[in-house]
Amino acid sequence: MPVMDLSGQFSLLVVDAISPLSTTERGNKYTLVFAAYFTRWVEAFAVKALHTIMFVEVTVDGAIPRHRVPEWLLSDR
C-alpha cells in the first residue's frame, strides 16, 4: 500500500456525526463534525437529519467553500 502524504493543510478531511442530541428551536438534532487531519482545524454543523443528501449539502456548501476540496475524505459511515 502506498504511503499517503497528509502534510497539506486540507489534504485529509475526517468527518463524523454526533447523534441524537436535544432538538433545537430550528429543528436540528444532529451535528456533522469536520476535522482537518494535519492542522487539527474543526468545524461543526447542526443538521435536522443524517442522510446522504444532507451530508453532501453540508460538505459542498459549508466545509469546502471555506477551504478547498480535500484529497481524501475519511468517515466511518
Q: What is the pLDDT of residues 24-74, one digit of tens each?
A: 999 999 999 999 988 889 999 999 999 999 999 999 999 888 888 898 899
DSSP the chain: -PPP---STTSEEEEEEE------TTS--EEEEEEETTT--EEEEEES--SHHHHHHHIIIIIHHHS---SEEEE--
- Say what the alpha-carbon torsion angle 59, 65, 68, 70 is, to the nearest 10 degrees: 0
**Which range of residues forms the domain containing residue 32?**
12-75
Residue 7 has pLDDT above 70, yes or no: no
Which CATH number does the domain housing residue 38 bear? Answer: 3.30.420.10
Residue 35 confidence (pLDDT): 93
**Any domain includes 50:** yes
pLDDT score recorded for residue 11: 86
Residue 6 falls inside a structural domain: no
Does some domain include residue 7?
no
d(CA 13, CA 63): 10
